[in-house]
Amino acid sequence: MVFTKQFWEERRSKLIKKLKIGAKNRKNPSHAIPHTKKTKKTISEKIKELYREGKIESPFKNMTYEQRLKQVRTRKERNHYNRTPEQNMKLSNSVKGEKHYGWIKDRSFLIYPDEFNNGLKQKIKKNFRFRCQECFRHQNELEHSLSVHHIDFNKKNNSENNLIPLCKSCHTQTNFNRENWTTYFQERINGIA
């Protein structure tokens, strides 16, 4: 087999599609991989060292104090998190209630019954050995505790065969295609899947 330029281009494009890398990162697939804390610290220390040695010049070197202050102010003004309380209230009201993407008519304001308490949740998690039942990660591997999910999405149905522990990520996915998730988890609980 001859490895032509066309072969490598096709292979590269398939890899990019597989990794779902955005257009700006297509030249180097490694850009899609975030740095670890250790790597970030190493990079930061190296840059500081280069500044001390004079190999890198500060972008503020030839600016006056007033110019630096103006630069910092304009950067803060561009920051969209730096909103006034009125702007925050307007934004908050624009996605409340029926305007929110997760709104489900007649269901969004239902509260959980008293029997759905921490004791029941712990029992369910213990029954499933503190593992997410979708990705099978243990609770100790996660940054947060497991959620207990109602398989049929009925908050009032708190029977043990209707509850399943899920991590935050997997629990979020279950809010879409609810019928499919209900069938999927019921089959898994009953030992079919």
Strand, coil or helix: what is 108?
coil
Q: Do 120 and 158 touch, CB atoms closer than 8 A? A: yes
Give the H/E segment covering residue 164.
Answer: strand 163-166
pLDDT (tens digit per residue) in 81-119 = 667 778 878 888 888 877 877 777 766 666 788 888 899
Cα distance from N-terminal residue to C-terminal residue, the chain: 42
pLDDT (tens digit per residue) in 23-68 = 444 455 555 567 788 888 888 888 888 878 877 776 666 778 787 7
Angle at 45 between CA 42 and CA 50, to 5 degrees: 125
Q: pTM of the entire structure?
A: 0.47
Q: Do 124 and 164 touch, CB atoms closer than 8 A? A: yes
